[in-house]
Structure 1
Amino acid sequence: MKHLTVCTLALALILSFFSVSGCIKESGTSGLEQTGSKHIADQELTLNRNNDFQASYYYLLARRYDNKNEIHQAQKALEIAIAKDPDSSFLQREYIIGLQNQKKSGQALTLAEDLAENDPNDVENLILLARLKKGDEKEMTSLLERILQLAPENKETFLRLGKVYMDEGMTLKAMNLFSRMVSKFPDYYVAHFYLGESRRMADQPAAAKESYLRTLELEPDLLEPRFRLVDVYKAMGEKKNKSDIIAVLKEILDFDPGNERALIELGLFYFNTKNYQKADDIFVALGREIMENSDLLVNIVQILIPEHRYQDAVTILSQIRKIRPGNANIDFFLGMAYEGLKKPGKAIEYYLKVTPDHPQYKKTILSIAFLYKDMNRIVEAIQFLEQHHRQSPADIDITAYLASFYQENNRYDIAVTMLERALKETPKNTALLFKLGTVMDAAGHRRKSIETMNTIIRIDPKHASALNYLGYTYAEMGIHLDQALELVQRALAIRPEDGYITDSLGWVYYKKQEYDKAVFYLEKAVALSNYETVITIHLADAYLKTGEREKAIAMYKKALNNAGEDQKKEIREIEEKLKKLEHLGQ
């Protein structure tokens, strides 16, 4: 048996939750079988709705076209099958899945919602709807709870709902759910693993340990529960559980001697517990292996950086660097780790060592410039980018970011001149044009900004950012509101899950005094943007217009809590609005 992680196996189960399959039973042989394969010829695609063939014939025909990757023809066949048997939820689900495969997600979702509404107790309909739903976790939670109520034996629903609970921080609900799952399926190792996960999230390491050990009793070859045991042993005290931690990591290496994650964890554990000789043995071996396998270094970083283990990354990379000095990859990743630790000086020190032949050299340059800016050394940031702009004057990214820095330093004329000079070489470059439009707007030249955005849209009618910017600008100015609505709707059709474009649509409706519609889209926008300050202010303003004063106050306070130090104007605006509401309330 392969040493698969429990997460991999659970993922397969969750994915199976989203697959729909089935069959249509008919007595006798199907029309397809009776007439022979020649009926699959192209001319048969007239698909006469008035013939005597049953729905099953057209379903099987659709499957044949689907296997030949002729999706359009398959959908036509399904349409006729549905016309023959309009009460078949199965056929309608197959048609909806076909739409999803054609990237017609909006149409698929609408039909799935209709199907679920027509038969709210059909579990397969609800599962399909859950597959298509995105963004609204509250609605997803309600839907999955309904599925579990109707199909309490569905393991995949338990897993999906439990994941939603954990993602939303509802740890107690997740623990209760997985406890129910363990009671219902006592020999199902995945249930025990996820009960352990929820217990670990709830800071109950001893209880989590019990769940992980039970998981391994049921499925002894799994590695992921062993890594989780290392985590809980550390949470219960590294010194107290030192021997257990080392034993588990060595056990993993017995199963899989080349397991990079276990080697990294063991080396770090030895180092952090001051067993430097054993740590060095592991780090030296890793450093030598990097000479043969450059991917190993990337794997080390991918294990540590996404989990925000920046100090561990610095530790292991610094030790490997002693063995492999002058390695640009190590210097680049050390810069990333120090940046994660919010030590910009050290990050810059290592980024500066990265050589021009490195594939991430330009990213390194931009990172250094932003680090200078974050340290309130904007002049040095500009000087640094100017130096590289002179070396590579045709580099669009460096030009655009340098223009942004000049803009932030209120040196609009220099930014505009630089962008216009670059546009002489590439007059239809929409990235530079968009930057020029935003700089002109910031400089107070709104008419020129509008002209520039219109130029972008003429060059690229599907430039979502320009469509949105122009539509929002019209809304802010209170002009051309019908055109603003059309522009933003076009942008949203291109990027339907963009919180900022959704906010623009809500704000256009606000300006059009259609406040109920404004609230609908602004509520969606705050969810998509994780309550970005300006968007949250917009929603609060809309609540006031619909007479929902308490909701408005709650949103203003939410916006105030989320405001950054650089949003002084927004903070003053919120405080003034809250004072007025407090005064009116009194």
Structure 2
Amino acid sequence: MKKSLVFILLIFIPVFFLAGCTQLKTSRQHSEFQTVKTNNSNEENYLSSNYYYLESRLHIQNKNFQKAIVSLEKALTQDPGSFILTQDLIWLYLRQNNNDKAFELSEKLVLENPDNVDALLLLVQLKKDSLDEKKLVEILNQVIELDPKNKEIFLRLGKIHMDKENYTEALILFKKMVDQFPDYYVARFYLGQVNMIQKHYDLAKIQFLKTIELEPDLLEPRFQLIEIYNTENIPNENRTDNRQKIIETYKEILEIEPDNNRAQLGMALHYFKNNRKKQAENLFLDLGRDIETNSRLVMVAVDEYLSGQKYEDAVIVFSQMLKADPDNSTLNFFTGMSYEAVGDFKKAISYYLKIKPDHSQYKKTILNIAMLYKRLGEELSARNYLEDKYKLFPKDIDIIIYLASFYEKDNNYDQAIALFKKGLEDSPENTSLLFRLGALQDKAGFAEESMVTMKKIIEIDPKDASALNYLGYSYADRGIKLDEALLLLKRAYELRPDDGYITDSLGWVYYKLGQYQKAVEHLEKAAQLTSFETIISDHLGDAYQKTDQFKKALETYKKALSNAKDEDKNKILELKEKINAARKKIDE
């Protein structure tokens, strides 16, 4: 049976708690009526503890978990030091979603049994998300010391180091693991991987070759070897040996798994980049012909070259496969994406334009083409293209929104507003369209209409934080309906407490209400959340002024000025005046 990296990675899946009554692996296996041994010498208490334990098992069998908890709690009262009883009670607490009690009991279990591997592993499993990295590493190191034959703990700790890019620690750990388990191929593989990350290519090769020796059908170490052969710092004229090793390794992979698309694509690309164009062309043509019947091939290519950010390679792979079927929409789409990724927008557009309307990515392509025209500075072409597509798809929300943005940029507010209203005839409760309409109405000077539109959004979705914020801030900034504004902004803040702009709006309505200390508290938070955005810093400076904190006001106005956009001349002038006024207050 072929083995791949999937097999290797499965080793990391935690197995402590599965569905049903699965429990943490321990040294004991008890039956439904197994006697619970305790350290209590009192015969009456011993029988009582055992009785309650058996009672809990019957309750579990009848799925009455709350009664089982009560029974186990009574059993623990008689035998408070029982590991088995404590562990079973933790499981029941978790079963009833009483996580706090489970965590508390797990910590107590570790305190009372600091050298018990099962207790430590249980704590790790329960608190893996809340334990800080240092504490988690400390516990896992402790488990390794107590149970040096536990492969899974080595791997779990190694994964933590790898995820955190602590490669020196990972290297030490995997070396130790290889010493402990010299014939364990997974340990060899990860030791090779860490060495490769640290560019110790010779050491990495040794481990990958050893991995293959231990498990001859593994594919992933062979792919890693190919990457090493491709990246080793060898002068170009001396790379013949490595080029041959790459071909041989690809052939080995394809002997093990003849339909491995990653290897097929890699070999074709290798031929192409090493001037063996005829061989490359034949392989790419064969692959291109398979696209219609092998959708996985495309996704492998996307994952390897586009998601892997190997954009120059992606251009070669997709454009060469396209030669087998020049009208293939899928290949044209990904060829376009590849050229877009390398910054050749004109070529990208030329491929996107070949995509047929029945293709699943056609709508996305429309927006891509308009965006690329815009990035090329051809905004008129972008707008004209979108207008043509709008005629074909008058109900498409994305096209409406994007086309309206061009009208808005040209200050053609009436046409943009008309476009949104036309879209809302077919989708009257589309809050995305409504919000953009309301914001545009406000920008165009139709404040009353804007507020009516925002109210409609809130009627449709009372938890739309953006609409709540927009309407509340509109009231606050105009100094009207301040009590209603406060209620709206409190609701928005409850929904998104870490949104700097909503926090600013709430602070600003407190300012307008004359509650300056509350205003300062919220505006300080908003300024921190937005890295002292100009308007928010301006608000905070005003609040500092009202609380006689003139030095803080001066510094905040300066930050607002430093973040102001050059084109916002009125705001820059206003801030300079406020800075001068704050200086005068300080000098008084």
- Considering the TM-score relative to the shorter chain, is it more than 0.5? yes
Q: How does 1:180-191 map to 2 (within 5 A)?
A: 180-191=176-187
Work out whether residues 419 and 432 of structure 1, in 8 Å CA contact, stay in contact via their aligned partners in 2.
Answer: yes
Q: CA deviation at 1:406?
A: 3.2
- Structure 1: which amino acid aligns with 2:138? R
- Structure 2: which amino acid aligns with 1:488? Y
1:487 to 487, 492, 495: 492
Aligned position for 2:317: 316
**Aligned partners of 2:519 and 2:158: how far apart in 1?**
36
Q: CA deviation at 1:376?
A: 3.2
- Asked if residue 232 in structure 1 is aligned to residue 224 in structure 2, the reply is no
* Post-superposition CA distance 1:508-529 (Å, at most 9, x none): 7877767999799989x98xxx
- Asked if residue 198 in structure 1 is aligned to residue 199 in structure 2, the reply is no
Work out whether residues 485 and 508 of structure 1, in 8 Å CA contact, stay in contact via their aligned partners in 2.
Answer: no
Aligned position for 1:254: 255
The residue matched to 1:307 in structure 2 has which SS?
coil
The 1:56–1:336 alpha-carbon spacing in structure 2 relative to 1, beyond 3 Å, is same
- Structure 2: which amino acid aligns with 1:12? L
**Aligned partners of 2:419 and 2:338: how far apart in 1?**
33
**Aligned partners of 1:483 and 1:115: how far apart in 2?**
43
Work out whether residues 16 and 23 of structure 2, in 8 Å CA contact, stay in contact via their aligned partners in 1.
Answer: no
- Structure 1: which amino acid aligns with 2:489? A
Of 346-355 and 284-293, the range deviating more from structure 2? 284-293
Aligned position for 2:3: 4
Q: CA deviation at 1:145?
A: 1.0
The 1:254–1:538 alpha-carbon spacing in structure 2 relative to 1, beyond 3 Å, is farther
- Asked if residue 273 in structure 1 is aligned to residue 274 in structure 2, the reply is yes
1:14 to 12, 15, 23: 12
Aligned position for 1:178: 174
**Aligned partners of 2:71 and 2:567: how far apart in 1?**
64
Q: CA deviation at 1:415?
A: 2.1
**Aligned partners of 1:537 and 1:214: how far apart in 2?**
62
**Aligned partners of 1:292 and 1:396: how far apart in 2?**
33
Aligned position for 1:345: 346
2:125 to 100, 108, 128: 128
Aligned position for 1:29: 33
Aligned position for 1:68: none
**Aligned partners of 1:189 and 1:205: how far apart in 2?**
18
**Aligned partners of 1:567 and 1:188: how far apart in 2?**
63
Aligned position for 1:71: none
Aligned position for 2:67: 80
**Aligned partners of 2:170 and 2:477: how far apart in 1?**
44
The 1:131–1:275 alpha-carbon spacing in structure 2 relative to 1, beyond 3 Å, is same
Q: CA deviation at 1:353?
A: 1.0
Aligned position for 2:371: 370
The 1:284–1:437 alpha-carbon spacing in structure 2 relative to 1, beyond 3 Å, is same
**Aligned partners of 1:111 and 1:374: how far apart in 2?**
57
- Structure 2, unmatched stretches of 5+, are 36-51, 77-85, 112-118, 511-516, 550-554, 584-588
Work out whether residues 506 and 520 of structure 1, in 8 Å CA contact, stay in contact via their aligned partners in 2.
Answer: no
The 1:400–1:113 alpha-carbon spacing in structure 2 relative to 1, beyond 3 Å, is farther
**Aligned partners of 2:105 and 2:501: how far apart in 1?**
31
Q: How does 1:149-548 map to 2 (within 5 A)?
A: 149-152=141-144, 153=147, 154-236=150-232, 237=234, 239-240=239-240, 241-440=242-441, 442-443=443-444, 448-463=449-464, 466=467, 480-481=485-486, 483-490=488-495, 503=500
What count of residue pairs does the alignment treat as equivalent?
Answer: 499
Aligned position for 2:57: 56
- The root-mean-square deviation of aligned C-alpha atoms, in Å, is 4.5
Of 265-274 and 474-483, the range deviating more from structure 2? 474-483
Of 443-452 and 471-480, the range deviating more from structure 2? 471-480
Give the TM-score normalised by the residue count of structure 2: 0.71
**Aligned partners of 2:522 and 2:122: how far apart in 1?**
31
**Aligned partners of 1:230 and 1:389: how far apart in 2?**
49
Work out whether residues 205 and 225 of structure 2, in 8 Å CA contact, stay in contact via their aligned partners in 1.
Answer: yes
* Post-superposition CA distance 1:490-548 (Å, at most 9, x none): 357xxxxxxxx55567667877767999799989x98xxxxx86799999x99xx9x9x
Give the TM-score normalised by the residue count of structure 1: 0.71
Q: CA deviation at 1:329?
A: 1.4
**Aligned partners of 2:93 and 2:129: how far apart in 1?**
13
Q: CA deviation at 1:111?
A: 6.5
**Aligned partners of 2:156 and 2:121: how far apart in 1?**
15
Of 265-274 and 201-210, the range deviating more from structure 2? 201-210
**Aligned partners of 1:113 and 1:437: how far apart in 2?**
49
The 1:208–1:348 alpha-carbon spacing in structure 2 relative to 1, beyond 3 Å, is same
In our comparison, the structure showing a higher alpha carbon Rg is 2
Q: CA deviation at 1:370?
A: 1.4
* Post-superposition CA distance 1:254-299 (Å, at most 9, x none): 1111111111101100110111122122112212323543543343
- Structure 2: which amino acid aligns with 1:55? S
- Structure 1: which amino acid aligns with 2:204? A
The 1:481–1:334 alpha-carbon spacing in structure 2 relative to 1, beyond 3 Å, is same
Work out whether residues 500 and 525 of structure 2, in 8 Å CA contact, stay in contact via their aligned partners in 1.
Answer: yes
- Structure 2: which amino acid aligns with 1:331? N
**Aligned partners of 1:165 and 1:536: how far apart in 2?**
41
- Structure 1, unmatched stretches of 5+, are 32-50, 63-76, 100-106, 134-138, 493-500, 527-531, 548-552
The 1:291–1:97 alpha-carbon spacing in structure 2 relative to 1, beyond 3 Å, is same
1:145 to 131, 137, 151: 137
**Aligned partners of 1:413 and 1:309: how far apart in 2?**
45
**Aligned partners of 2:91 and 2:265: how far apart in 1?**
47
The 1:125–1:351 alpha-carbon spacing in structure 2 relative to 1, beyond 3 Å, is same
The residue matched to 1:313 in structure 2 has which SS?
helix
- Structure 2: which amino acid aligns with 1:366? L
**Aligned partners of 1:538 and 1:81: how far apart in 2?**
56
Aligned position for 1:74: none
Q: Provide the identity percentage.
A: 36
The residue matched to 1:85 in structure 2 has which SS?
helix
Of 347-356 and 173-182, the range deviating more from structure 2? 173-182
Q: CA deviation at 1:464?
A: 5.8
**Aligned partners of 1:361 and 1:412: how far apart in 2?**
29
* Post-superposition CA distance 1:100-148 (Å, at most 9, x none): xxxxxxx86x666656665565424433345555xxxxx6523531331
- Structure 2: which amino acid aligns with 1:142? K
**Aligned partners of 2:567 and 2:179: how far apart in 1?**
53
Work out whether residues 344 and 371 of structure 1, in 8 Å CA contact, stay in contact via their aligned partners in 2.
Answer: yes
Aligned position for 2:47: none
The 1:18–1:294 alpha-carbon spacing in structure 2 relative to 1, beyond 3 Å, is same
Work out whether residues 492 and 502 of structure 2, in 8 Å CA contact, stay in contact via their aligned partners in 1.
Answer: no
- Structure 1: which amino acid aligns with 2:363? K
Q: CA deviation at 1:341?
A: 1.3
Q: CA deviation at 1:30?
A: 8.5
* Post-superposition CA distance 1:143-188 (Å, at most 9, x none): 5313313422454444344444434444334333433433444333
The residue matched to 1:16 in structure 2 has which SS?
coil
The residue matched to 1:57 in structure 2 has which SS?
helix
- Structure 2: which amino acid aligns with 1:256? E
The structure whose RCO (Cα within 8 Å, separation 6+) is larger is 1
**Aligned partners of 1:566 and 1:171: how far apart in 2?**
43
The 1:160–1:455 alpha-carbon spacing in structure 2 relative to 1, beyond 3 Å, is farther
